[in-house]
Structure 1
Amino acid sequence: MIRSRLEVHSVINGQPARQILTAATDVCVKETLNGQFYVTFSYPRLPDDNSRYAALAEANEVRFPSDLSDAGLAGQYFVIKRVDEERRGLRVYKRVEAHHVAFDLNRYFYDGYIDFLAAQQPTHQLGLLALGTPYTFTVEGTFPATDIFEWGEKRRFDLLNEVRALYNGELAFNNTAITLTTRRGGNYGVEIRYRKNLTGIVRKSHDMERITRLYGYGKAGLTIEGLPGHSVKYIDSTYATPGHIYEGSVEFPDIDDQARLLAEMQRYLATVELPKVAYEVDFVELEKVDVDFRAEAIRSVGDTVTIIDESMGYRFDARVTEYERYPFEPKRARIVLANFRELKTADYVFQATVGSKRAITYTTKNAVLKGVKYDDSVTLVDGFGMRVSDDMNRTMVRLGQTAPGEYGLALFNKAGVRTIWQDSATGNAYFSGTLQAANGSFSGSITATSGTIGGWTINSGSLSGSGSIIGGSIIGSSVSGGSVMGTTITGGTITGTTIQSAASGDFVRLTSGFATITIHNDSNLQASLQIQGGNAGGQIWSPRGGPIQLGISGNTINAVGGMNFYNYTTFNAGVHFDLAATVTGFTIAHVAGLQTQLNSLDARITALGG
């Protein structure tokens, strides 16, 4: 037997006192999901133990030690609410019941009142509940903004439960710190198996609240009759049996839209279309007798466990909705399971290939089977699809209804931003952010009005950036910037600092400034020609000092305007002047030796005629 380490905290002679209740027996903790959480135990009246016995009185606290192996109870406080004193023969003892300190929130009354407040997060109401109390509230996960109607003027714990129900959340307690979460507990690979740790199992089923044909009514008597595909006021469950229908109705007085009314009816029907089934399981907490099993311990209500009893044909996952255990005794524990899901062949194949149940994503939080929620990583989206969330309940994937009136597939990042989505009506796919290929490549055509590829920016009608365009043809009105290399460039204007006919070998290069045309063989300059404009009218010259030959193979060069020759000019062929041409500014003095020759000839002619 493990000796009790339960503590009682009281005031003795005006001073706080802490005493260990080592003689406490049958210490039993009972916890219900979103419900009660209390501890009961017996304590005998013993000689020389009057202070402990007397301390077991209403309003005093009992506490579990902070190093308790049961993580769900370690360091938790409970307030004594009931004490029954009994005598059995010579034995006198007290039977004590203490409730978790979180339930003492009900000692406080909230006198405020909200008649109506639109689109509020739960933090608003939780903040009001915390005012003037030692309690703190936190929200875990994402809740949709919800309208508040007629809330307040009640005990605060009752109002807390109204907030939980309004946002469809669950409550977790850590003394005076209360958390509203989308899903309490987790899947830690706990397995309860016959001939291992399962000692007893009871299956309870009833259909007293079952509905397989649901009539729905909205604002001012609104029904779904007349909605496309719905000619009647009701919807039938897929589990409905002809000739044996369970009929019922539900009202949504604030809904004035037929499509929304249908969605709410489908969501409600999913909760009542099957018989209510629960399992009560007695098992041995092996972690108390063997530390090797500690990782398999149930930690709190809300956890998902696997039940296997092959002789009765039971194989299913389920959530713990009630948990009864004895923290100081290696004896049986009892749990109540609901929202179960029978395991299929594929589950076992997946478990075998993955090698660890902790890697199974469909049971780490929530999941859906035939519209019935049994775990929390996959949930219904307004009755029309599925939602996949991570361990922080952040939506990562939506399949089906991705937003009001939108259907298809959508992926989200951890900030809640939609990153990739597909419209089921058109088949069009969309993405935000960066589309990056990890180890693959893109094939096919891309149609877009703008974009960035590498260092290039493409906008409507323009391409800009750094780098090179290599190969093929560029056809357009203008190409500007950087280097352009390729086989053919056709059309329009080419603007740039350098235009080069080839990358290597023999090529011609045209540069800006004085419009220099150079001829190269690789990096060797062979010849150059510079055309310079200015007020002088421009000039053509060779920087290397070589001759400039105008005209090839007898071609004619026509000068439309005047031509100026500033240095010696050699004509290696005849010079023809058109009869209509006039030569001005040219005298005998400009021809070297011509005047002397003419004078000599004149003298000789004169002498001959003399």
Structure 2
Amino acid sequence: MIVIYEKKEKNFDKNGLAVLNEAVECKIIEKLNNEYELVISYPLYSKKAQYIQPFNVIKADGQLFRIYNTNKDSKAGLVTAYARHIFYDLLNYVIQDRRAENKTCKEALDIILDELELTGVYTSESDIVETATQYLVKKNGVESVFLLVNEWQGELERDNFKIGIYKNKGADRGVHIRYGKNIIGISEKLNCDNVATWIYPVGMDGITLPEKYLLNPQWQDSDYPDFALVKIVEFREANSEGLLRLEAQKYLDAHAIPEVNYKVDFILLGQTEEYKNYKVLEHVEVGDIVTVKHSILGIDIKVKVISLEKDILSAKNTKVELG
């Protein structure tokens, strides 16, 4: 159900101004640590179209979106509204000068809400317990939250008035797909620029390992040129040989295979025989982990859902990006 509310409404559990049950199109676009918007097209000459105006709030798929732009097309007989997730109301609040020193991520979020005097409106949550420091000077609320996302290397979840920054926003729900040839509706990008078969790790004060180099255990010679792909990598926080080895091994594990990106368009894919093999992606969420069985490379690659376009009328994803 799609409901529209008056711009000053505080209670979004009631029916609001109207139920927008004549929508021609309604989709939500969400990108990991990026935009989160709704687009709706509605019959221009419907009585309910009068409520589709800037600053009013639309509730769809359980989330709230505030309209910031409308476009009336008399020829098509439609009014189209563009709305941002209610999180983006924070664009209108400014922090002059506040510091989060040696705080956990949640503590830093609470400092932002306190400074903006929004503690009773928004809530915060985080599973990142490491402490860090972030200075917030002449930043709006949205900019401030994204500074925390970058500093704590987290993933942002916007759930109405709850703001969460997590190590991993989604989950591995056991979704597997196969990729092995060109398929209409699916595009693939492979980037080998960061692949390392050997690394020369250097720690604090020039610490190195006795053997100097570490070999990537996942390296298969047939997949690479006849020379090693060697990278010098600095780990400035590694103040001992043991810590340097641990951090270097993590780096090797993360750079063992090419970076991949897949874009799946279900409208195009629906015209092919392969559609049935990808239907599992119609209900994944942003941040979820998907395992791609790549028959050409001969490997399984775990990739995140980094972007979704969801059709609210059919309750299915129409576009999914993995990367």
Normalising by structure 2, what TM-score?
A: 0.72
Correspondence 1:469-484 to 2 at 5 A: none
Q: Is the 8 A contact 2:170 2:285 kept in 1?
A: yes
Correspondence 1:440-455 to 2 at 5 A: none
Deviates more, 1:317-326 or 1:238-247: 238-247
Correspondence 1:41-440 to 2 at 5 A: 41-46=40-45, 49=47, 52-64=48-60, 73-74=61-62, 76-86=63-73, 90-114=75-99, 117-118=101-102, 120-131=103-114, 132-133=117-118, 134-139=121-126, 141=127, 143-148=128-133, 150-190=135-175, 200-210=185-195, 222-225=205-208, 227-230=209-212, 237=216, 239=219, 243=227, 245=229, 247=231, 250=234, 252=236, 255=237, 257-259=239-241, 260-261=243-244, 263-268=246-251, 270-272=253-255, 274-283=257-266, 298=283, 300-305=285-290, 318-329=303-314, 333-338=318-323
**Once the two structures are superposed, what CA deviation does each residue of 1:543-576 show, in whole Å capped at 9, x if it has no partner?**
xxxxxxxxxxxxxxxxxxxxxxxxxxxxxxxxxx
Q: Is the 8 A contact 1:30 1:37 kept in 2?
A: yes
- Give the direction of change, closer, same or farther, for the CA distance of 1:331–1:241 in structure 2 (3 Å limit): same
Q: Is the 8 A contact 1:214 1:250 kept in 2?
A: no
| Offset at residue 45 of structure 1 (A) | 1.8
**Residue identity opposite 1:107 in structure 2:** N
Match of 2:12 in 1: none
- Give the direction of change, closer, same or farther, for the CA distance of 1:157–1:215 in structure 2 (3 Å limit): farther
Q: Report the secondary structure of 2:40's partner residue.
A: strand
- Identical aligned residues as a percent: 22
Q: Report the secondary structure of 1:35's partner residue.
A: coil
Q: Report the secondary structure of 1:184's partner residue.
A: coil
Q: Report the secondary structure of 2:146's partner residue.
A: helix
- Give the direction of change, closer, same or farther, for the CA distance of 1:277–1:174 in structure 2 (3 Å limit): same
Q: Is the 8 A contact 1:105 1:135 kept in 2?
A: no
**Once the two structures are superposed, what CA deviation does each residue of 1:25-62 show, in whole Å capped at 9, x if it has no partner?**
2312122223222111223421x53xx43433332211
Q: Is the 8 A contact 1:223 1:258 kept in 2?
A: no
- Give the direction of change, closer, same or farther, for the CA distance of 1:11–1:170 in structure 2 (3 Å limit): closer
- Give the direction of change, closer, same or farther, for the CA distance of 1:17–1:207 in structure 2 (3 Å limit): same
Deviates more, 1:309-318 or 1:32-41: 309-318
Distance in 2 separating the partners of 1:322 and 1:248: 33
Match of 1:18 in 2: 17
Q: Give the number of the structure whose alpha-carbon radius of gyration is greater.
A: 1
Distance in 2 separating the partners of 1:44 and 1:276: 44
Q: Report the secondary structure of 2:312's partner residue.
A: coil
- Give the direction of change, closer, same or farther, for the CA distance of 1:223–1:149 in structure 2 (3 Å limit): farther
| Offset at residue 97 of structure 1 (A) | 1.9
Distance in 1 separating the partners of 2:210 and 2:90: 49
Q: Which has the higher helix share?
A: 2
Match of 1:563 in 2: none
Q: Is the 8 A contact 1:278 1:336 kept in 2?
A: yes
Q: Higher relative contact order by CA 8 Å / sep ≥ 6: 1 or 2?
A: 2
**Residue identity opposite 1:148 in structure 2:** T
Normalising by structure 1, what TM-score?
A: 0.41
- Give the direction of change, closer, same or farther, for the CA distance of 1:310–1:178 in structure 2 (3 Å limit): same
Unaligned runs of 5+ in 2: 9-14, 271-278
Distance in 1 separating the partners of 2:198 and 2:280: 45
- Give the direction of change, closer, same or farther, for the CA distance of 1:11–1:17 in structure 2 (3 Å limit): farther
**Once the two structures are superposed, what CA deviation does each residue of 1:239-292 show, in whole Å capped at 9, x if it has no partner?**
47553636465574xx37243455445444544453211222344899xxxxxx
Match of 2:275 in 1: none
Match of 1:34 in 2: 33
Unaligned runs of 5+ in 1: 65-72, 287-293, 339-610
- Give the direction of change, closer, same or farther, for the CA distance of 1:166–1:93 in structure 2 (3 Å limit): same
| Offset at residue 112 of structure 1 (A) | 3.2
**Once the two structures are superposed, what CA deviation does each residue of 1:146-197 show, in whole Å capped at 9, x if it has no partner?**
2325455422322222323333332222200122233222344546679xxx
- Give the direction of change, closer, same or farther, for the CA distance of 1:137–1:326 in structure 2 (3 Å limit): same
| Offset at residue 326 of structure 1 (A) | 0.6
Distance in 2 separating the partners of 1:333 and 1:144: 36
Q: Report the secondary structure of 1:30's partner residue.
A: strand
Q: Report the secondary structure of 1:111's partner residue.
A: strand
Q: Report the secondary structure of 1:102's partner residue.
A: helix
